[in-house]
Amino acid sequence: DIQMTQSPSTLSASVGDRVTITCRASQSISSWLAWYQQKPGKAPNLLIFKASSLESGVPSRFSGSGSGTEFTLTISSLQPDDFATYYCQQYNSYWTFGGGTKVEIK
């Protein structure tokens, strides 16, 4: 089974900050990685697929990069609506999620 490890688990930041979240896979997953945003009590929302492709309707301040086993999600300038929990997910072999990164207000 492929394990996904996210870091950090919690991140404190201010509006306007550049934020980076890391996701590591236990084996190569090529570029078959997605990122999701989830707010409390709400459904997760797809942000990025194929490691770096922005889902339609997602603001351009979100970007993804990486391949193989190491990936990053970057928010170029954090906005008030971005305080949420972010999950990576591999879809190379079945589907596995990272443990999540909570982005909170500093």
Partner 1 sequence: EVQLVESGGGLVQPGGSLRLSCAVSGFTFSSYWMHWVRQAPGKGLVWVSRINSDGSSTSYADSVKGRFTISRDNAKNTLYLQMNSLRVEDTAVYHCARDPHYYDSSGDRHWYFDLWGRGTLVTVSS
Quote the least distance from Cβ 80 to partner 1, whole Å: 22
Residue 77 or 93 having the CB closest to partner 1? 93
Residues that bind partner 1 (CB under 8 A): 32, 34, 36, 38, 41-46, 49-50, 55, 87, 89, 91, 94-100
CA distance 94 to 89: 10
| Choice between 71 and 87, CB closer to partner 1 | 87
* Pairing mode, strands 101-105 and 10-13: parallel
d(C-alpha 92, C-alpha 4), whole Å:
12
How near is the Cβ of 100 to partner 1 at its closest, in Å? 4
Distances (CA, A) of 89 to 5, 13, 18, 33, 51: 10, 23, 22, 6, 10
**Nearer of residues 17 and 100 to partner 1, judged by Cβ:** 100
